[in-house]
Amino acid sequence: MKFIGLITAGLLVSGTANAADAGLNLAQRSVCLACHQVDVKRVGPSFRDIALRYAGNEGAVEYVARSIRNGSRGLWGAIPMPAQRHVDPATAKELAEWIVSLAPSGGEPTDDTKQP
Ligand code: HEC
């Protein structure tokens, strides 16, 4: 019985992972992961920290989508993000939706997060 429970848990976990994977794949294809990771700050802030800062704001997805295409500077640290013009507006919106969606289930903010 324990064994069957483990299998069920495994299936549930891989089920949710698949939905999240779509966003992660898109981020990978859009060459975001060179500078970003979901949970760890690298060159840029973690996507989870970005979600925690903007989720719940009105127009968060539109704002984030615009940030992706136009780049960003001075909001998170000394290193600016170059404009990501290879990302078309529809893809930027998809990425933004995924990033913003990382917040609610995200748990505690990390040390990098400065909540407004
Ligand atoms: C060359 C490195 C680099 C790449 C490539 C990159 N980013 Fe960034 N990104 C950064 C840095 C650095 C910041 C912090 C900029 C700042 O302080 O304002 C940032 C900030 C952001 C922000 C927050 C902007 C804001 O308004 O607060 C978002 C959203 C974001 N990146 C998404 C993406 C996505 C999606 C991609 C892929 C299409 C991507 N980034 C590719 C380095 C990068």
Single-letter residue type at 98:
W
- What is the Cα Rg of the chain in Å? 16
* Residue 94 tokens, joined: 């998809």
Tell me the pTM: 0.82
Backbone region of residue 19 per phi and psi (left: phi > 0; alpha: psi in -120 to 50; beta: other values): alpha
Cα 48–chain centre separation: 5
What does the DSSP 8-state code read for residue 85?
T
- Does any ligand 1 atom lie closer than 6 A to the CB of residue 77? yes
- Cα(1) to ligand 1 centroid in Å equals 47
Instruction: Give the separation between CA 23 and CA 50, rounded to whole angstroms.
Output: 15
Output the CATH code of domain 2-106: 1.10.760.10
Per-residue pLDDT of the chain (116 residues; tens, 9 = 90+): 565 555 555 555 555 566 678 999 999 999 999 999 999 999 999 999 999 999 999 999 999 999 999 999 999 999 999 999 999 999 999 999 999 999 865 445 555 555 54
